Structure 1
Amino acid sequence: MSTSALSLSVLDLIPVRTPQSSAQAIAAAVRLAQSADRLGYTRYWVAEHHNMQAVASTNPPVLIGILAARTERIRVGSGGVMLPNHSPLVIAEQFGILEAAFPGRIDLGLGRAPGSDPMITALLRSSGAVSEVDAFPRNIADIAALLHPDGASLSLTSGQEYTLHATPAATGMPDIWLLGSSEYSARLAARQGMPYVFANHFAGDGTTQALDLYRRGFTPSETLDAPRTILTLNVAVADTKAEALALALPQMQQMARLRSGLPLGPLATVEEAAAAPMTPALLGMVERMAAAWIIDEPVGAATRIRALAAQFGVDEVMLQPIASAHTDADPFASPARERTLELLAAELLTGEQLAA
């Protein structure tokens, strides 16, 4: 075990593999969150994606409530809520309730991308969502004000003040994080004095530039007096590197198909991925992902994670466990993803974190 502790967290898209139903995939996510809680991980975040056969993480606030109720210590949050899809007041009310129910354990991670295709974006817009991307900075500020125990005030044309609260008698508020993979998000997080998550798991280029911009431009705020950063990474860890590569191949194939504009289905099992034909173009993408992602045995994986954390000077690393499963695996579990977290905890988390 390492003598120097590293704060580790988990990002979960709640993958749905070939034999699974949504109910089984969510049950597997609950088990994974409970493992992360027991192992000493700092936080467990779920993402927002829509209308994808391989992703059950469609509604972060609902999932956060389920996961927080089934865990004890770990912080639970969104990685993230795609704010252009939603009304700031609705998000503030949802997370105000979550913070009231699970005080000190809720994170609200906000992103600017739609997290969906144009059809879904149009349907969300027709439901009354605030979809103007240009309103993103103002909407973040509005959510923070609504969640604050003092609430927010509007000046009416009559000259009267109208007071709004996300929840009637808040005693605290969730931590609000800005997610991004561009210079825009880095500059905005710095300007608003927010903690910043760089989405390295899907946008590895530009990490150094974005984090440097954030740190150089950071302005202290009421809630944060110094820069605070998280780096996300894709990981699959097993007893051998060959086994880890086999477990990661289904997700790499899925991402290669997504980037090629090919049809997508549920996440393949290890056996299905091994038997699937790949064109030279798809194979090239898979090979590049295999080199960039953390796919290894425990010591090698931990060494790379520790080196990346040091290289980018981040406060925390958030791992997306991307291993699939064998065809005969329990559909209510994700054994290889649980094993990834266990192996990395043994290498990277201290005894104090494991006992927390």
Structure 2
Amino acid sequence: MSHDTEGYLAPSPEETRNVTDWVMRDVLQAAMQGYEGIDFTIRTEDTRSGGNRVLVGAPGSFPGYVARDLVEDLRAVLRWSFERPGEYRLQLRRNQAGELRFQSWVPLRYLPRRPAPGVPLTEEGGNVVVVIGSPNPGQAYPYQFVTAAERVAGHGIWIVERTGYELAAADLGQIVRRAPGGQVSWITSSQDLLTVLNGMPKRSVRLMKVFSHGLRGEVTLRYGWEGKANYGIDRSDAKRIDGEVFSERAVIDLESCNGGTNKNGDSLAQSIADATGRTTFGWTGRTSYADVNRGTGGVRGSEFSLSSDFFKEFASRWNAESAPYQKAFTPRVR
């Protein structure tokens, strides 16, 4: 997949080279065979390019000369033709000295620009960042966070914790195949989330959703592996998030356990809201991915069940001082 610097689909370098070679070859033919001129219609689409040409006049009418600046002129207009998908007319004619020269280049119509899946757009509010944690040991549905991510609408940019999937012997290729455009930014404890997130184009993120495990005061992107520290985003990390990557009305949504549960007076969601200046949603208590795994819905608050999980749910509700619910945290003015 080829894309331009703004994140939109673009013809591959091979395609642009083929069109350039075709135009240069036919211009040389028109010049050497003595035609009065040549007209091109060049069509550049977001994944391919082509066109046609018409020779003007009769062969042998002029000597095989070309203007000194013709090659540079052609390079310029061909570059313009690839800057935006569309149809363009290029015309060459002889000058008074009989030299074939550039006469005109006209856009006939523009074609729609399509975003390259999984590639960040530079336009304001163009991106939806989806942060995906990894499974803990013995997790029944190791890809549940990936499945939840697939439900997110918009121009998705996936940032995925890698090491937990490797520890679970999960197929990383499956994650790549399910990602938008097969594009994944992998993160580890040494190549952390904030490095990738803060590298997004300024004001380009309109929504960030996080699917992962969570403890009070922390999103744990890798969790529960013996001999491997839990890591992710805690309240001190939240202070390092660059709020400038978010558009003015962007929203951050923590779909992890306890993102909105207080720890010593402040939740992680509140800390992120304060640091970024953007409304942040977080769950008080535990979340459930049961509906995600069944394919019937999204993340919801957890419920009591007649299992060993009963005591975990009881303790969670005791600490959260309520049943699980999703709460909006707005930035506090300091």
Point out which structure has higher relative CO (alpha carbons under 8 A, 6+ apart): 1
* TM-score, length basis structure 1: 0.29
Task: Answer 1 or 2: which has greater strand percent.
Answer: 2
* TM-score, length basis structure 2: 0.31
Q: Which has the larger radius of gyration?
A: 2
Task: Answer 1 or 2: which has greater helix percent.
Answer: 1
